[in-house]
């Protein structure tokens, strides 16, 4: 099953991209890097430049139908840029509209807020997003990983890089091992 990793051209927290990416690969899934522009994206290790990664597809050229799930890595600048891009926000919303699972870590719920998909859902994030999530109608909880099942939708959220082992295991369970339960 193909799993989309949606990122902006710059500002991705590298470990929040590479850890779940490797987990998807190791469990037999096919990760695809989707961005708002073609070329390469610049990842960061906190505030320091890290590696670059090649974009597989641009957000305007794909739809949720081609994927079994969506992963939104964090980093402060990454979700901030994504929430300002109408095509990226529409792409995220399409996963919810079609009942495909979505996973977001750290600051990535900013993009979920912009897509108006947190209302009535329990989720976690980096603690500084607590007020943003509550203002968007969500319920913020302080948990390493939170799974919110709401009708056909599954939303997996996590707080920070230290939670990556559990986050990645949960992502692979939902996206790769249980894809028949979702729209893909």
Let me know if 21 is exposed, middle or buried by CB neighbors in 10 A (0-12, 13-18, 19+). buried
Give per-residue pLDDT as tens, 100-121: 999 999 999 999 999 999 999 9
Q: What is the pLDDT of residues 17-43, one digit of tens each?
A: 999 999 999 999 999 999 999 999 999
Q: Identify the active-site residue in 19, 106, 148, 182.
A: 106
Number of domains in the chain: 1
Is residue 181 annotated as a catalytic residue, yes or no? Answer: no
What integer pLDDT is reported at residue 184 of this predicted model?
44
What residues make up the domain containing 41? 2-181
CATH code at position 95: 3.40.50.880
The yes-or-no answer on residue 107 being catalytic is yes
Q: Which of 19, 107, 148, 182 is catalytic?
A: 107
* Number of Cβ atoms within 10 Å of the Cβ of 150: 12
């Amino acid at each position: 099953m193909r799993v989309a990793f949606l990122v902006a051209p710059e500002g991705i927290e590298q470990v929040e991209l590479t850890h779940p990416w490797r987990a998807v690969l190791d469990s037999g899934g096919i990760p695809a890097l989707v961005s708002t522009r073609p070329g390469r994206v610049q990842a960061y290790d906190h505030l320091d430049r890290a590696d670059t990664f090649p974009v597989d597809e641009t957000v305007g050229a794909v739809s949720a139908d081609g994927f079994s799930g969506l992963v939104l890595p964090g980093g402060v600048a990454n979700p901030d840029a994504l929430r300002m891009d109408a095509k990226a926000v529409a792409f995220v919303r399409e996963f919810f509209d079609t009942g495909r699972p979505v996973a977001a870590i750290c600051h990535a719920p900013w993009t979920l807020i912009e897509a108006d998909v947190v209302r009535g859902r329990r989720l976690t994030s980096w603690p500084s997003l607590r007020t943003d999530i509550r203002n968007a109608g969500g319920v913020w909880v302080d948990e390493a990983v939170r799974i919110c099942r709401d009708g056909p939708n599954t939303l997996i959220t996590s707080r920070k890089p230290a939670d990556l082992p559990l986050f990645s295991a949960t992502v692979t369970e939902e996206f790769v091992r249980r894809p028949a339960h979702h729209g893909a």
